[in-house]
Structure formats: C-alpha cells, structure tokens
Structure 1
Amino acid sequence: MPAEDRWGLRRAVSRRYSSPAVLAADPDHTARLSAYLTDLVGQYGLSLTPSALDPVRGQSYGEMAVELLPDSPVDLLVLAYDVPDISPGRAVSTYLTHVCPGEPMSFAVSDQGRAAAFTALSLMRAYTATHPRALLIAVEQTDLPYDPGVPVALPAAHAGVALHLDATTAAACVSVTVTPDSDAVLDNLDASTVVLGGGLAALADDVKADLVVLADPAQPMTGVWESLAALDLGTAGRIAVADYDPALRYLCVATFG
C-alpha cells in the first residue's frame, strides 16, 4: 500500500488550561492589546466591554500549543482556531516552527468556525508525499473582550488538541469533507464509532454505529477532537468525526480507519 494511502492518525492528545496566559500578567502587553482592539473594533462602531482587559482572562495560542508539541521531529505543523488569540501581534505558526522539533513547514487556518480543523486536515492530506510527519493543533480560548455585533458561541474552557499524523499508522485518514451551504444532515456514515459535535447532537439516534460519542457542546471547535483523543484507536474500528457549524452552514466529516 502506498504511504499516502496509509497516512493518518497515529495518536491524539488533548489538554485544558485552567489559567489565563502568562502574557496576561504583563501590563505592557495589556496596554498594547487594549490600544489594538480599541482601534480595530472602533472601525465597526463597536467598543471594548467595560473592564474587558482588567484583568486579561484569555489564553495565548502560542503558549497553549507549545504544551502540545511532540519530542520527535515533524515535517508539517498546522494550527487551527476560531476565537481570536489574545496575542494578535505574534505569528503563532511561524513561532511554532522555531520551537517544534524538525522546524516544520507551518501555517494556520482560521475564519472557518467549527470547520477550521477539518479544513486544515484536508489541506494537510495534500502534503503527505513530501511532509508525511504532520501535527494538527486545534485550539480555542474563552475570552472575547468586545461585543462582535453578531451572536457567537464561545467555549467554556481554554482547550487544545494535537493530532499526530504519519504513514506508519493503521488509522488511515480515509476522507475529509467540508460541505458549505449545507443542512445538518448525516447520510450513510460508514463507521463503527461516530463522534458527533454539538451541532449534530440531535441526530444521534439516527446514526447507525456500534458506538456514538457526543462531544462536549460547550467546546464548539475542539469538542469533537477531544472526544477523538479519548478513544482507544486500537479498538474503535473505523471512526467518523462529524460536526456542523450552524452560523456558517458547514457540514464537516473526517473518517479514519
């Protein structure tokens, strides 16, 4: 079997972070962040919420991701997120290139809502021939210090998940689809274990699988990947991870095994 056909999930790890970022204790950073956000949201007639940064409660994706890096070299690293970072001046994926073993090529995927990690995984599959040792890090932090003017679903906890992918695993990445302008409908999921995000929880009774796992609905983007990390890949059989973003109307499905 070609290496590209074997490429897939070797292991997944997740972590939650109980405290704000170390940067949150730096008054100089807080002053710069306040000036930056005030200028940014002011262009849209918005403003920072009262005491939004007193204290800073958010997390830094750079700090979070470092805790998820492997000890062995990586060829490709992709960061996926939805909620903005509290350190907007840092190019996080570039920073991670320098601290991750192997100094991997890296990039980030954002502005995709719950689809961010699915889109990242789909893009990573195109690099399997030249960058087979890959790391996908999905992160979300809880604090948005301004009213964005539209309804948003913020996570309940700072959380991060790392998917370690290469061509030595039996949990091959069979397919990844992100379908825009879609309804929350699941048809013919060919899997023994199905992980459903909060956007699809209402369909759990309609899914035909040996095991259906409902992800934590309080973690809009990382919930399904936390549930994947909790599975025993050796016994779960073929796994389908599915979620739906009701705001963007993206239906996302990734199948492993």
Structure 2
Amino acid sequence: MPWGLHRAVARRFPEPARRAADPAHAARLATYLGDLLEPYELGAPRGMAGGHSYGEMAAALLPDEPVDTLVLAYDIPDIEPGRATATYLSHLCPGGPTAFAVSDQGRAGAHTALRLLRDLAAPALLVVAEQSVLPYDPGVPAEVPAAHCAVALHLGPSAMPARAPRIVRGAEPHDVVELLGEVDGATVVLGGHLAGVGVKADRVVLADPAQPMTGVWEALAAVDGPAMVADFDPALGYLCVSAFGC
C-alpha cells in the first residue's frame, strides 16, 4: 500500500500551559530573552503569561502505535525554549522514534517536514503547532495566532498517498491556481491569504485565518477523502501545496 496520510487529529488548548503560571520560570525566560534581544535593540521582552508549551500540546496527540520518525513543525517560539522538545517527544512516543524539528520557514515548515518524511516512507508523525503569545517585538511583521493549536498527521501505509509537496519562493497568491493544476474529485483547503483566489474545485474549504501555521492542517483534519492543502506566507513569499490521495 502506498505511503501517505493515515489520519489527522487537531486540538485547540483553551488553557495556558502550567509553566505559564510559574514565577520562577517566567523570571528565567525574561532573562534568557532579554539577553538575546539586547544586541538588536528590540526592547525588553514582555511576559509569557497565557503562553503554551509545544511539548505539552504535542504529547496530547501522540499515537498508541509506534512510529519510526517524529517531526515537530512550528513558527512562533515555544514557552519553553530550553527544552529539546522533539527529543522529549521521542521519549514519550511509542517506538522511541528519531525526532527533530523544522522551524524558521513560516508556513512552509510543515510542508518541508512532510517532504522529508515522504522520502523516508516509514510510519511517522508530523506535529504542526503554534501558541498564541509572542513575548517580544521581532522587528519584522509577524502574524500571531489567536489560539493555541496543534495538529498531528499520522503517516504510513494509506489509501491517501502523499504527493511530494511543492514549495515555490517569490510567488503571488494567484499563482496557486497553476500550482494546484487539475483538481478532480478532491477537496482544496486554502490558507487565509488565499481566500478569494478563483480556485475551481468540487469543494473549497477556507482555513481559519486567525491560525497562520495550523489553520490549513486543522481544516484538513475535518476533511474526508482526497485533499489538496495550499498556503501562502506573505512575509517570506512562499507558496506551498501538499496533496493527499490525488
């Protein structure tokens, strides 16, 4: 059976992480972030009150069955930057998988991770996560999500084979029509910055625009049957398309 999407599970976390209420952790985090920000004259860090931990969020979505590889994809920094989160999740996940993280690619991070996992073609888990507190001014435009959210893509032998993701730099939103190509019998999930683009498909689902990183994957988790996921990162100019079962 081809390798692809076995199932997708999404969850929002309305309550902050336990660590967010720990004064000692908050003090250490403020010192750590202050030291990093000082050379760039970006001002003092703000509090992480209400933030969440990717380790806690992802742990709630781990499978019961073993996997060979686990990848965490994120954009907004974690409330616990001192933790090697992928290694921590490897310790918790059945099978003790090889684990690593993909970041600093905006919305393209999840598609890059999927491309890497597809080349391995073994049972795997991709966790896409974002938390809604950015404790400092990054000095460049940044879209901060409205909610803490994580999505787990369970990958392995599947009737929904995954095509190699396409990631195009320097694209514009309207280029998604050509990048998607012929869409026959598949649901197309569009990220927030692609709303209004004239994609022709039997069904088009618009992701929650308030969830920059997880929006399309959260929408995918609610789709039955073949699907194509398209997203656009205006800050980096990345246009990304991943396809499952089509």
TM-score in terms of structure 2 length: 0.94
Partner of 1:37: 33
Partner of 2:167: 178
Describe how 1:196-211 pairs up with structure 2 within 5 A: 196-203=190-197, 206-211=198-203
Partner of 1:227: 219
**Pick aligned residue for 2:49 from 56, 60, 69:** 56
Question: What letter matches 1:10 in structure 2?
Answer: H
Q: Percent identity?
A: 59
Question: What letter matches 2:8 in structure 1?
Answer: A
Work out whether residues 48 and 145 of structure 1, in 8 Å CA contact, stay in contact via their aligned partners in 2. Answer: no
Question: What letter matches 1:160 in structure 2?
Answer: A
Question: What letter matches 1:249 in structure 2?
Answer: G
Q: Mean alpha-carbon deviation: is it higher for 194-203 or for 55-64?
A: 55-64
Work out whether residues 187 and 223 of structure 2, in 8 Å CA contact, stay in contact via their aligned partners in 1. Answer: no
In 2, Cα distance between the equivalents of 1:26 and 1:66? 20
In 1, Cα distance between the equivalents of 2:44 and 2:15? 22
Work out whether residues 145 and 212 of structure 2, in 8 Å CA contact, stay in contact via their aligned partners in 1. Answer: yes
In 2, Cα distance between the equivalents of 1:75 and 1:190? 32
SS at match of 1:36: helix
Question: What letter matches 2:227 in structure 1?
Answer: I
SS at match of 1:80: strand
Partner of 2:123: 133
In 1, Cα distance between the equivalents of 2:43 and 2:85? 26
Q: After superposition, what is the alpha-carbon deviation per residue over 1:37-68, rounded to whole angstroms, capped at 9, x for unaligned?
A: 1111111001235xx22x62211111111001
Q: After superposition, what is the alpha-carbon deviation per residue over 1:116-166, rounded to whole angstroms, capped at 9, x for unaligned?
A: 1011001111111xxx11000000001011111111110000000000000
In 2, Cα distance between the equivalents of 1:105 and 1:57? 31
Work out whether residues 175 and 256 of structure 1, in 8 Å CA contact, stay in contact via their aligned partners in 2. Answer: no
In 2, Cα distance between the equivalents of 1:178 and 1:44? 31
Matched, 1:18 2:14: yes
Work out whether residues 187 and 203 of structure 2, in 8 Å CA contact, stay in contact via their aligned partners in 1. Answer: yes
Question: What letter matches 2:7 in structure 1?
Answer: R
Matched, 1:243 2:231: yes
SS at match of 1:163: strand
In 2, Cα distance between the equivalents of 1:104 and 1:29? 29
Unaligned runs of 5+ in 2: none
In 2, Cα distance between the equivalents of 1:18 and 1:256? 30
Partner of 2:188: 194
Work out whether residues 102 and 110 of structure 2, in 8 Å CA contact, stay in contact via their aligned partners in 1. Answer: yes
Work out whether residues 82 and 114 of structure 1, in 8 Å CA contact, stay in contact via their aligned partners in 2. Answer: yes
In 2, Cα distance between the equivalents of 1:34 and 1:64? 22
Count, aligned residues? 240
Q: Mean alpha-carbon deviation: is it higher for 183-192 or for 23-32?
A: 183-192
In 2, Cα distance between the equivalents of 1:243 and 1:115? 8
SS at match of 1:139: strand
In 2, Cα distance between the equivalents of 1:120 and 1:180? 16
Work out whether residues 69 and 100 of structure 1, in 8 Å CA contact, stay in contact via their aligned partners in 2. Answer: yes
Deviation at 1:189, TM superposition (A): 4.3
In 2, Cα distance between the equivalents of 1:116 and 1:198? 16
Partner of 1:108: 101
Matched, 1:78 2:66: no
Question: What letter matches 2:152 in structure 1?
Answer: A
Partner of 1:254: 242
In 1, Cα distance between the equivalents of 2:182 and 2:73? 25
Question: What letter matches 2:60 in structure 1?
Answer: E
Q: After superposition, what is the alpha-carbon deviation per residue over 1:186-210, rounded to whole angstroms, capped at 9, x for unaligned?
A: 212434210000121121xx21111
**Pick aligned residue for 2:206 from 214, 226, 241:** 214
